[in-house]
Each structure stands twice: as C-alpha cells, then as structure tokens.
C-alpha cells in the first residue's frame, strides 16, 4: 500500500483560512468514508482533529473542518491562530488495513 499524498508544507497568516489536501485512490480515500486527520506538535503525540471525513471530536475547535471529493480529502482550518502551527496527517481505511499521508507542515506567518 502506498502512502496518501499530502503537500509537504502550507502557510498562512493569522486569521486566514488554509486547506490541506490528501490524495489517495479508489481503494482507500475514494472507497470509504473513513478519512481522519491528526495534528502533531513537535515532540508530542498526534491528536485526532477530524474523523469519518468531516466529524469533529468533542473539544476540537469548529475552525477545523473536513471534506472529501472523489479520491481527495481536505482539511480546512479557518481563522488561523499561532497555535495551529504543527504537522498534519491524514489517514484512511483501506481493505483491512490503514494508511497515513506523508504529512504537511503548517506554518503560521
């Protein structure tokens, strides 16, 4: 199985919105509504931000939203804040297995 494709980096200014894409195939992202997104700050464990494409766990800011179209899922962060600067990973279910994206470093300018 191949890793999902994410941009290596994205950036935005405080208050702006950014979108991170996660591209897979019809065998993973496109085939199941089981895409999740994780935020990881340096030296910390990942934190679940979005599950099942567009659902937010309790306690996660509504500035974070997820969507999917075909084989590409997206994470949108609106009203960027300095604390959003982190690495973001997508993940998808794929036929009794799971796969991550390569990760995207978000820089808040």
Residues at the contact surface with another protein, assessed by CB under 8 A: 1, 3, 34, 36, 38, 40, 45-48, 51-52, 57, 89, 91, 93, 96-103
What's the min distance (Å) between Cβ of 82 and another protein?
Answer: 23
Among residues 24 and 46, whose Cβ is nearest to another protein? 46
Round to whole Å and give the CA distance between 64 and 62: 5
Closest residue by Cα to residue 69 from 26, 10, 18, 16: 26
Residue 9 Rama label (left phi>0; alpha psi -120 to 50; beta) = beta
Among residues 40 and 78, whose Cβ is nearest to another protein? 40
What's the min distance (Å) between Cβ of 98 and another protein?
Answer: 4
């Amino acid at each position: 199985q191949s890793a999902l494709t994410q941009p290596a980096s994205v950036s935005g200014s405080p208050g702006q919105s950014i979108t991170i894409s996660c591209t897979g195939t019809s065998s993973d992202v496109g085939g199941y509504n089981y895409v999740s997104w994780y935020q990881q700050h340096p030296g910390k464990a990942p934190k679940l931000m979005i599950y099942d494409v567009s659902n937010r766990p309790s306690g996660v800011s509504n500035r974070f939203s997820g969507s999917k179209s075909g084989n590409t899922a997206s994470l949108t962060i609106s009203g960027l804040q300095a604390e959003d600067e982190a690495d973001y990973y997508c993940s998808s279910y794929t036929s009794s297995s799971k796969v991550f994206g390569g990760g995207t470093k978000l820089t808040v300018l």
